[in-house]
A and B are shown apart, each in its own frame.
Chain A
Amino acid sequence: MESSGGAPPAEERRLLAASLTARYSDWVLEELDELPGSFLLTDPAMSGHPIVYASRGLASLTGYRPRDVLGRNARLFQGAATDRAAVAGVRDAVRCQRAHQVAILNYRRDGAPHWVLLHVAPVFHAHDGRVLHFLAVQVPIAAAPRRRAAPCRRPPVFAACREEARVEEELPCASHAGEAFVDIDKRGLETTRWLEAGEPRVASGCDKEKALSTANSIFSALNRYSKLTGLVVCGKRCDSAGIPALSSSLNLSLGRIKQSFVLTDRHLPDMPVVYASDAFLSLTGYSREEILGCNCRFLNGPGTSLEVLEEINRNICCEQACTVHLLNYRKDGLAFPDLLHVSPIRNASGKVGLHPFQVAFHVWVHLDESIKHDFNGLSPEVWQLGAVGAVRVAVRSLSASGSLLRPSQ
């Protein structure tokens, strides 16, 4: 058992560092150190699923310095009043290797509770689908306007110093807590305080944006410095269970559009792909199953410009269209110069499950500029815009008649 507050011993430190440097070049640490925000990288292949990297921003948010947490499991941030269901959700996502976002009550080093939006996502080895790391981003959630409601009180709990304090079944809520063992960090913090968790907080759209944006920056950094030759470290293989089922009418209309494009849904965690055209699959070499439910970053690679990705993100946040040139990568690792146009697509009615009158999707139209195309006299840009127009018409008309999504079963 390690001493409280101390850094892990030298041998262990070496192993933790190797977790990163085996896959990425040394520059990756410098790059990650430059990123703002509080986040961690963990290695599920190592015993205890330890933290192998912690950002500089961690201290200001949590009071822990990076060396305080290296080698330890991330549950060290949780405490007595942390909602068990939230923890179970994170654990489940980790087990299923998918991205997950949840508002959760964490604890600072001094024991003070605070609410954060936790964004967890796997980092896959593009080639064999192995999970290399998990990233966990923490964004503080500000208090909502005060509403005095009965606080959620939990009885005192005793620390259980258990390596795998895994409670497999969903724990009942606070009213039955008492027999609960809580995942407490290995420091053996024995808390007997009555903790007022207060009203559960809800993350705002802005918080989610921040979390997403930080996650994207981390991915980009890992991509840039990936040592895996010609391959992409990507957040691939997300399952498509959470994405909305598009109606057959919409699929039919979209199926007629000849350009290479995908639709993404910004309102779902990690902005997954919800539709991909056949031309897109031919262009990139992926199958539909591989990419539905995933964020577009699977296309990015070491040569993809970070600035351009940030420009795209900015425009997405402002709901504006943009056209960019960037380097993207096919499944086989081959890079291609991509003329990419991204545009927000609105739906027309408030009756569908999507957010009313807001942006329903984003359309991403790709064009491989290294190949000669015949646009029958149109400029490449106008030809791409034709796809945007066709998607707009399809989404607009079908959402007006309530036929955008498959009716829920």
Chain B
Amino acid sequence: MEVKLTIKRVPTVLSNYQEEGGGAGCGRNCLGDCCLPASKLPLYAFKASNQNKFAQEDGLPTDFFLNSLLLGQWEDRMAQGLFRYDVTACETKVIPGELGFVAQLNEGRHLKKRPTEFRVDRVLQPFHSAKFNFTKVGQEEVLFRFENGGGDSSYFLANVPNTESSHPPSVVAINVSPIEYGHVLLIPRVLDRLPQRIDPESFLLALHMAAEAASPYFRLGYNSLGAFATINHLHFQAYYLSVPFPVEKAPTKKIPLAKCELKSGVKVSKLMNFPVRGLVFERGNTLKDLGDVVTNACIWLQDNNVPFNVLISDSGQKIFIFPQCYAEKQALGEVSQDLLDTQVNPAVWEISGHIVLKRRADFEEASEASAWRLLAEVSLSEERFEEVKACIFQGTGLTESDEEDETNEESPYASSSSAPVASSHIPEGCLVLQ
């Protein structure tokens, strides 16, 4: 007998158009078939191959995508008053401790309205046109289109008619309830009205965005349904915070793979000493190799109804997958009331260590211990995690090997640190945390 599990929570408002009934009503400049093809948007066409890491002479400067285009456009929308509040006026602090959780006090993020019911036992749900989706968003909330330019270098065009493109348009829009400065939404192939589910092409788009930003502090995230996604229309989130996330500092333990799988060059590890259990995927010969391995794992999870969150960090070189069960526990009444009272919905950013708190008392008293306690409820148990991990490996054709990996210099059982500073490219600034 199938039990339908639901929880009540206040949904986050991602767009100013979210609350207006569900009417398609146009005459506005929306992102639907009625308006988008007939209008023009700026287009950022990223380079197809990521091999050439150095900016070409006539190409765009390396900081153009992030600093000039994304942040400049975002600041412009701030000036236009499109955000529900000024996120830079929200108190933020790094909590003292080993991992350095980041706490933010944001009393305005959540609506002061009645919570809605969310079904939490179905990770895959069909797209409903009647409900809010991103085709209803006004174009003023869109910063630019983001698509594959097909060439060796990236280029930017300020004003491109949306009909003229070989690709269905994918857009970057603002999140009107930002967690941090520069918080945006990446909506792949917006007109295709894809439900919230990972597919290889869309995931690769997200990886390319991380690569174009070329900053270890610009991360992308994904929440599946049942893991606190608010809208059932395929989207990734991204923002910029110049401190390492706790999850990026946690040690990992490499999972040795059978030699034949090493062709893709992807390294898989288990996250250690962190409240939420997760898998870490790194390297890969190409971005696509890495993306494909991760996508396969996600597809297994969503097909088998395991809610999960994904964090893309280190400019697309490092990806975390967190299967979770908080919503299920909440629906079954297994979460303690005081945790529920914080009203924290542990989605990808919270799990990574950036926690938005609604009440001042929670913010003042926030500690590494309290953060750990909250996140521990989100994690699968060790037993269940190992089960899921085994299934993922089986389902994606990866084989865990018992042998020591000959090509790897480190001992497979040694923990390796994974803070952004250790990555291959030059880190952005040397932060010395107290």
- Residues of A in contact with B (beta carbons under 8 Å apart): 248-249, 252-253, 256-258, 321, 345-346, 348-351, 357, 375-379, 381-390, 392-394, 396-398, 400-403
Q: Can you give 19 contacting A-B residue pairs, CB < 8 Å? A: A249-B431, A252-B428, A253-B428, A253-B429, A256-B63, A345-B88, A349-B91, A375-B68, A377-B158, A383-B68, A385-B72, A386-B75, A389-B71, A393-B182, A393-B241, A393-B242, A396-B242, A400-B243, A401-B431
CB of A319, distance to nearest CB on chain B (Å): 10
Q: What are the residues of chain B within 8 A of A400 when measuring CB–CB?
A: 92-94, 102, 243
Q: A249-B431, A381-B76 are in contact. List 17 more A-B contacts (CB 8 A).
A: A249-B432, A252-B428, A253-B242, A258-B61, A345-B88, A346-B89, A376-B64, A376-B68, A378-B69, A385-B75, A385-B76, A386-B69, A386-B72, A389-B70, A389-B182, A393-B240, A397-B242
Contact A396 B88 (CB under 8 A): yes
Question: Nearest chain-B residue to A358 (Cβ)?
Answer: B89
Question: Nearest chain-B residue to A252 (Cβ)?
Answer: B429
Q: What are the residues of chain B within 8 A of A348 when measuring CB–CB?
A: 88, 90-93
**Chain B: interface size category:** 35 or more
Is the C-beta of B100 less than 8 angstroms from some C-beta in chain A? yes
Contact B67 A401 (CB under 8 A): no
A348 to B90, CA, bound (A): 7
Contacts A377-B158, A385-B79, A401-B433 given: A349-B72 contact, CB under 8 Å?
A: no
Q: What are the residues of chain B within 8 A of A389 when measuring CB–CB?
A: 67, 70-72, 74-75, 181-182
Q: Which of B179-228 contact A (CB under 8 A)?
A: 180-182, 217
A346 to B428, CA, bound (A): 21
Contact B240 A386 (CB under 8 A): no
Contact B157 A377 (CB under 8 A): yes
A245 to B152, CA, bound (A): 43
Q: What are the residues of chain A within 8 A of B433 when measuring CB–CB?
A: 401-403
CB of A350, distance to nearest CB on chain B (Å): 7
CB of B184, distance to nearest CB on chain A (Å): 12
CB of A258, distance to nearest CB on chain B (Å): 7
Question: Nearest chain-A residue to B74 (Cβ)?
Answer: A389
A144 to B69, CA, bound (A): 50
Is the C-beta of B412 less than 8 angstroms from some C-beta in chain A? no
Contacts A386-B67, A401-B100 given: A392-B91 contact, CB under 8 Å?
A: no
Contact B72 A382 (CB under 8 A): yes
Question: Nearest chain-A residue to B427 (Cβ)?
Answer: A252
Q: Name A248's contact: one of B88, B90, B430 (CB within 8 Å).
A: B430
Is the C-beta of B60 less than 8 angstroms from some C-beta in chain A? yes
Question: Nearest chain-B residue to A347 (Cβ)?
Answer: B88
CB of A317, distance to nearest CB on chain B (Å): 18
Is the C-beta of B156 less than 8 angstroms from some C-beta in chain A? yes
Is the C-beta of B11 less than 8 angstroms from some C-beta in chain A? no
Is the C-beta of B18 less than 8 angstroms from some C-beta in chain A? no
Q: What are the residues of chain B within 8 A of A383 when measuring CB–CB?
A: 68, 72
Q: What are the residues of chain B within 8 A of A257 when measuring CB–CB?
A: 67
A403 to B431, CA, bound (A): 8
Q: What are the residues of chain A within 8 A of B180 when measuring CB–CB?
A: 396
Contact code string B75-112 (vs A, CB < 8 Å = 1, else 0): 11001000000001111111000001010000000000
Is the C-beta of B42 less than 8 angstroms from some C-beta in chain A? yes
Is the C-beta of B12 less than 8 angstroms from some C-beta in chain A? no
- Residues of B in contact with A (beta carbons under 8 Å apart): 42, 60-61, 63-64, 67-76, 79, 88-94, 100, 102, 156-158, 180-182, 217, 240-243, 428-434
Contact A396 B68 (CB under 8 A): no
Most chain B CB within 10 A, of A345, A349, A390, is at A390
Contact A386 B93 (CB under 8 A): no
Contact A392 B434 (CB under 8 A): no
Contact A401 B61 (CB under 8 A): no
A402 to B70, CA, bound (A): 26
Contacts A351-B93, A394-B242, A397-B217 given: A252-B430 contact, CB under 8 Å?
A: yes
Q: What are the residues of chain A within 8 A of B432 when measuring CB–CB?
A: 249, 403
Question: Nearest chain-A residue to B89 (Cβ)?
Answer: A346
Contacts A389-B75, A397-B243 given: A376-B61 contact, CB under 8 Å?
A: yes
Q: What are the residues of chain A within 8 A of B67 when measuring CB–CB?
A: 256-258, 386-387, 389-390
Question: Nearest chain-B residue to A345 (Cβ)?
Answer: B88
A397 to B217, CA, bound (A): 10
A206 to B240, CA, bound (A): 36
Q: What are the residues of chain B within 8 A of A393 when measuring CB–CB?
A: 71, 181-182, 240-242
A382 to B73, CA, bound (A): 6
Contact A349 B93 (CB under 8 A): yes
Question: Nearest chain-B residue to A254 (Cβ)?
Answer: B429
Contact B61 A357 (CB under 8 A): no
Q: What are the residues of chain B within 8 A of A252 when measuring CB–CB?
A: 428-430
Q: What are the residues of chain B within 8 A of A349 when measuring CB–CB?
A: 91-93
Q: Name A376's contact: one of B60, B89, B102 (CB within 8 Å).
A: B60
Q: What are the residues of chain B within 8 A of A321 when measuring CB–CB?
A: 79
Contact A256 B75 (CB under 8 A): no
A390 to B92, CA, bound (A): 17
A41 to B207, CA, bound (A): 64
CB of A4, distance to nearest CB on chain B (Å): 57
Q: What are the residues of chain A within 8 A of B93 when measuring CB–CB?
A: 348-349, 351, 400
A257 to B181, CA, bound (A): 16
Contacts A252-B429, A376-B68, A392-B181 given: A398-B79 contact, CB under 8 Å?
A: no
Contact B74 A357 (CB under 8 A): no
A291 to B367, CA, bound (A): 42
Question: Nearest chain-A residue to B241 (Cβ)?
Answer: A397
Question: Nearest chain-B residue to A384 (Cβ)?
Answer: B72
Contacts A249-B432, A256-B428, A389-B182 given: A376-B156 contact, CB under 8 Å?
A: yes
A229 to B81, CA, bound (A): 45
Contacts A389-B182, A397-B241 given: A378-B72 contact, CB under 8 Å?
A: yes
CB of B34, distance to nearest CB on chain A (Å): 27
A379 to B159, CA, bound (A): 11
Q: What are the residues of chain A within 8 A of B42 when measuring CB–CB?
A: 377
A393 to B242, CA, bound (A): 7
A276 to B115, CA, bound (A): 48
CB of A401, distance to nearest CB on chain B (Å): 4
A390 to B89, CA, bound (A): 16
Question: Nearest chain-A residue to B242 (Cβ)?
Answer: A397
A381 to B79, CA, bound (A): 12
CB of B174, distance to nearest CB on chain A (Å): 12
A205 to B152, CA, bound (A): 56
A378 to B64, CA, bound (A): 10
Contacts A252-B430, A357-B89, A392-B181 given: A378-B68 contact, CB under 8 Å?
A: yes
Q: Name B242's contact: one of A351, A381, A387, A398 (CB within 8 Å).
A: A398
A156 to B100, CA, bound (A): 62
A309 to B433, CA, bound (A): 40
A394 to B71, CA, bound (A): 12
Q: What are the residues of chain B within 8 A of A381 when measuring CB–CB?
A: 76
CB of B364, distance to nearest CB on chain A (Å): 11
